[in-house]
Structures are given as C-alpha cells and as structure tokens.
Amino acid sequence: MVKSALVVEGGAMRGIFASGVLDTFMKKEFMPYDFAIGVSAGASNLIGYLSYAPQRSFDVITKLATHKRFFNPTRFARGGDLVDVKWLIEESNRRHPLISERLFSSIPMYAAVTNIDSGNADYYQVKESNLNNVLEATTALPIAYKSTPCFSGGCYTDGGVADSIPVKEAYRRGARDITVILSHPLSYEMKPARSPWLMTKLLARYPQIAQAMLVRAENYNQSLEFIRNPPEGTTIRVIAPPEDFAVKRLTMKSTALIEGYKMGESSGLNHLSSRDGTFGLNTENCHFCV
C-alpha cells in the first residue's frame, strides 16, 4: 500500500492560510495520511488538526500572535524579543487546552528544527514528553527570538532556516503520495538574502545558522523543483494560496488575516473536490495543482 504524508510549510502569520485548509479538512473528517511533517507555524497548525480542535489555530494566529505580549517592536528595539514564542505556546495551551489522548493517538507527527551546531535540519517526532520543547524550537525565529531552545542534547532554531518545505524528508520516510500546504502562491520563488554581510554579522555567534540562512533561498527553491518534478512513482499534490493572498510574515491586520483564512477554507474545499474527481482531475494531471 502506498504511504501518504501531509507536509505543512510555516511562514509566521502566513500560516493563517493553512489553518483554513486544515479546519476544512476537520469539518469533512478528512485525514487519509500515514504521517505529517510541519515547520514553524505549520507545526502549530498540525497540532490543532491532529488533536481535532477546529478554530484553535485561527484563534492563536488572529488573537494571540497579534497581541503585544507576543509581538512587540518596542521591546525588540530595547534589546528584547520581537516575538515571545514561549509565551505564545503557553498562552495557547492555557486558552485552548489540548486533548492529549486525541493528539497522540492520531497519526505520527514530525517537526523540523534547525540544529545550531550543524545548520542542518533535524526532525523530531512530537510526543507528549517533548511537545512544548519541539514547538518552541521549530518556531524560534532567528534574531527575532533571543532564546535558544535546547533539549535532547542539542540546541535549535526555527526549522524553516534549514528546511522550509520538508517534502524531501517525507519522501525519504517512504511517502509516495504527498500533500503539501504552502504559504505562498504557486508563482513564488525565494530570492537570495539581499545583505549577506548583515546576516553574517547579526548571527556571528552562530556561524552555521548564518550559513544556512545564506543558502536558504537555494534550498527552498530546490524543494519547489522537487514538488514540480517528483520522482517517478510519486504523486505530490499542492494546496497553495491564490495569487492575491495578501498576508505577509508579520501581517497583524485582522481583516487581511480573516480573508487569508477564508482563502484557506476555499482552497481546502477545492482540494477535496479534486480528489473526489469533481473537477475531472486525477493523479495523472494534478501533480502541481489543488
């Protein structure tokens, strides 16, 4: 039997799109996957999905991630965190308690983190014993979050630094039917860092992370190429925001976020319709469409 996987990209506030997609999946009780891999906000979205908590991710993004306790430019200017990741996780769990029995009896979930010593991605299976540690690590934006999460003998930063779209990791783990939820429209390609010298300076304490940031665009675009041209015998289905998706990494405007969420809901429905054959699409002609 062909193994299937769900991969969810991060992108900070752009994660609102995936939250809409996954809420639609929950409404339709759609979870045909053998395992899931998330990165940063994508991992947080998967937690809501796998624990069957509709609207959880929507509330976390629109109410908590827009709160000044989480996002605070003044605090950052004074030498503190631009984003307080630990507070966001703890407050999310306080306001929206997770049902552990449901979450951890679901399909296995992995989260990508970036190892500060190697600059490479590590992939942790999310378990009850490491949930908060892994979530903090995968969402620990370099520079914006001053803390360096350490656990299981390593120290980490945001998984998106080394592997923003872990589709190759899903393939490496045996998946040959992979669904990817992106946080950019299909036309997007990442451009190289504009000021490499500044990145190197800001991350002088972590030279391997600085190097990973400098090749991040290349790695990202290679993942897109893998999606567009999957290996023989592999089907990759993509759910991506429409071209007019207006949410940026740090968008805080509620109207834009709600519109992005609705786009996710719509794209989720379109994806389910395509899998049902409603649009006349199938695995032969739908490698890179919803």
Instruction: Write out pLDDT tens, residues 24-40.
Output: 999 999 999 999 999 99
Provide the whole-model pTM. Answer: 0.93
| Band of residue 288 on the pLDDT scale cut at 50, 70, 90 | low
CA 151, 154, 160, 163 torsion: positive or negative?
negative
Q: Where are the beta strands (DSSP E) in the chain?
A: 4-8, 35-39, 109-115, 121-125, 150-151, 154-158, 177-181, 235-239
Q: Which two tokens stand for residue 232?
A: 């023989």
The residues that are catalytic are 40, 158
Confidence band (pLDDT; 50, 70, 90) for 267? very high
Tokens 């039997």, residue?
Answer: 1
- For residues 86 and 198, the model is more confident at 86
Q: Is the pLDDT of residue 280 over 50?
A: no
The pLDDT value recorded for residue 278 is: 57
In the three-class reduction of DSSP (H, G, I as helix; E, B as strand; rest coil), residue 210 is classed as helix
What is the dihedral sign for C-alpha 9, 15, 16, 22?
A: positive
Q: Which residue has the tokens 């290349």?
A: 218
Architecture field, domain 4-276: 3-Layer(aba) Sandwich (3.40)
Task: Give the amino acid at 159.
Answer: G
Range with lowest mean pLDDT among 110-114, 166-170, 176-180, 196-200:
196-200
Whether the per-residue pLDDT at 279 is higher than 80: the answer is no
Contact 124, 159 (CB under 8 A): no
Mean pLDDT, all residues of the chain = 93
pLDDT over threshold 50, residue 285: no
- Indicate whether 120 pLDDT > 80: yes
> In percent, how much of the chain has pLDDT > 90?
85
